[in-house]
Homo-oligomer: A and B are copies of this chain.
Amino acid sequence: MAIDRIIRVDMSTGAVTEERAPERYALLGGRALTARMLLEETDARIHPLSAEAKLFIAPGLLAGTAATTSGRTSFGFKSPLTGGTKEANAGGQLGHRLARLGIKAIVVSGAARGGWRRLDMDAEGARLSAADDLAGRGNYDLHRELVGEARRTRAAATIGPAGEHRLSAASIAVTDPEGRPTRHAARGGPGAVMGAKGLKAIVVDDSGGARTVPGENADAFKREVVQFSRTVLEDPRVHNTSRYGTAGVVKFVNRENVLSMPTRNHRHGSWERADTISGQLIEELGRERGGKMLPCMAGCIIKCAILYHDAGGGHVTTALEFETLALLGSNLEIGPADAVAELDRLCDDVGLDTIEMGNAIGVAMEAGALAWGDWEGVRRLLDEDVRAGTPLGRIAGNGTASVAAAWGIDRVPVVKGQGLPAWEPRTLKGMGITYGSSPQGADHTAGMVTARGVTPETLAQQSRREQLTMMALDSAGLCQFTNALPADMAAFVRERFGAEMSEERLLAEAREAIETEREFNRRAGFDREDDRLPRWLLEEPLPLPDGPAVFDIDEALIDAVWA
């Protein structure tokens, strides 16, 4: 079936219109599509929260099919955090539902006046309506009401109070299979853009839509689906992810102490209490409390989502990721896992990027605004200050650089304005190459390079290759934990669309999509200096057992990634 409906929602006038996607978008989906539309349809110099700004929402190319993990949804926009192009994607149930309604993209433009709106989409069409009853409400409450019992056919994308306040660390929450808002398009402030439009919620119901979308070459596509699932399940890396989620790496990363668990605002590479937030501990707790591993969307065979219960067996969160454990845990010297899980739930409820908030609060602690390890203070900051939009909450909710500016601090853990992930560029220098050269800023999902002991040139080549592969994954709508190779994706696209597609062409198109993002950044005023890591990463050694390490990759190598 054709998935070619583009739904345009003009929040200024309330008009909802529809058009067929032009032919040139036929093999673009997810991130590649939102990046292209952002560049083609908006002036890169606009204020990201202005009425002229647009929010592009697109499932991946494989959305709606039986290919495992293929239901991720991309949100593309000019970022209020970085000032550049941005794409954040999330799992959850939204992508498949959009695809089954034949929707290739939603474009939200303008800005509503006088109150909040919701957008409802189903087989009958798309309708915008007043939603002041939803205002001020957290994501858990919202998804319970908007999806709730109808979770087998419905999914929502909502903003919490942080998005309503138009804060740069605000996320968009997507419904998971249990009907909870635990899947977030978080990085770069998509929630702020949605908030600036006055759009509180998008609710998609695919009752009456297509069921599983077949391939153009149906049998061949089915064979690819089966073969790919087998490959995924046989991958030993996947076994670890399926058992512990991403939390499984905490112990390894901290114990090795050559990789680095960010501690005390990235000043140390390991935390003596890391075992209190490890995946192994979380697995044990899960056995006692009825936790388990869940898929974040129907059809996912990896199941990396940790269903996390409190000691009484009550639900706390379903997404206790390594990045969250690191940034809201060790980086703030906060543990044990129960404490971090509660902060994770708060971020999901208020609608915040856990990575950005962990960095922002780390800087606030360094400034003395909060004490290291002050869990209660962080809880209050998230649950009271950010939720209510107090001045302190606005400073923190606007992210790392905002906190640094408020306290006049020059050691700022950001690249292109975006907070550093846990993967440390001083020890994993390939990650630093990705953080610098990616148009997305400091983003570990832009291209993981964990090799050590190889030449800088090799790291730069790996970064390039991984960034292209991630672009392909984000455009197909697949999860990176499948470890899908470009060849796998080329085969999928070939049989799904009956189109010519080779590994080479797929990589060439990924490269073109990266260039589309880079062009937007150039038009927004970025230059090479914006591809640099902050100076302190080059000068302040991270203490490691095999010697102190700084990020010492030649700038020319970063520039060469896309030269």
**Chain A residues near B (Cβ < 8 Å):** 45-50, 80, 165-168, 192, 195-196, 369, 390-392, 394-395, 398, 402, 405-410, 412, 525, 527, 529-530, 532, 535
CB < 8 Å: which of B80, B369, B408, B525 contacts A530? B525
Do residues B406 and A398 form an inter-chain contact, with CB atoms below 8 A?
yes
Q: Smallest distance from the beta carbon of A553 to chain B beta carbons, Å?
A: 17
Q: List 20 A-B contacts (CB under 8 A).
A: A48-B410, A49-B408, A49-B409, A50-B410, A50-B535, A80-B408, A165-B408, A166-B407, A166-B408, A168-B405, A192-B408, A196-B408, A196-B410, A391-B395, A394-B395, A395-B395, A395-B406, A398-B405, A525-B529, A527-B527
In the assembly, what is the distance between CA of A165 and CA of B409, in Å? 10
Q: Smallest distance from the beta carbon of A381 to chain B beta carbons, Å?
A: 10
Beyond A166-B407, A525-B525, A525-B527: 14 further Cβ-contacts under 8 Å?
Answer: A45-B532, A47-B410, A47-B535, A80-B408, A165-B408, A166-B408, A195-B408, A390-B391, A391-B391, A394-B395, A394-B407, A398-B405, A402-B406, A525-B529
Which 8 pairs show the lowest CB-CB distances between chains A and B? A166-B408, A391-B392, A47-B410, A391-B391, A50-B410, A394-B406, A49-B410, A49-B408
| Copy total for this chain | 2
Do residues B410 and A45 form an inter-chain contact, with CB atoms below 8 A?
no
Q: Smallest distance from the beta carbon of A237 to chain B beta carbons, Å?
A: 39
In the assembly, what is the distance between CA of A512 and CA of B410, in Å? 31
Q: Smallest distance from the beta carbon of A532 to chain B beta carbons, Å?
A: 8
CB < 8 Å: which of B80, B166, B406, B535 contacts A391? B406
In the assembly, what is the distance between CA of A410 and CA of B301, in Å? 44
In the assembly, what is the distance between CA of A391 and CA of B384, in Å? 14
In the assembly, what is the distance between CA of A392 and CA of B398, in Å? 14
Identify which of A47, A49, A168, A406 gathers the most chain B CB atoms within 10 Å of its CB: A406
Closest to A392 in B: B391
Do residues B167 and A408 form an inter-chain contact, with CB atoms below 8 A?
yes
In the assembly, what is the distance between CA of A394 and CA of B398, in Å? 14
In the assembly, what is the distance between CA of A369 and CA of B391, in Å? 9
Closest to A390 in B: B391
Task: Write out the residue numbers on chain B whose beta carbons fall within 8 Å of the beta carbon of A527.
Answer: 525, 527
Task: Write out the residue numbers on chain B whose beta carbons fall within 8 Å of the beta carbon of A402.
Answer: 405-406
Task: Write out the residue numbers on chain B whose beta carbons fall within 8 Å of the beta carbon of A535.
Answer: 46-47, 50
Closest to A406 in B: B394
Closest to A408 in B: B166
In the assembly, what is the distance between CA of A49 and CA of B196, in Å? 32
Task: Write out the residue numbers on chain B whose beta carbons fall within 8 Å of the beta carbon of A529.
Answer: 45, 525
Task: Write out the residue numbers on chain B whose beta carbons fall within 8 Å of the beta carbon of A192.
Answer: 408
Identify which of A80, A390, A525 gathers the most chain B CB atoms within 10 Å of its CB: A525
Q: Smallest distance from the beta carbon of A10 to chain B beta carbons, Å?
A: 17
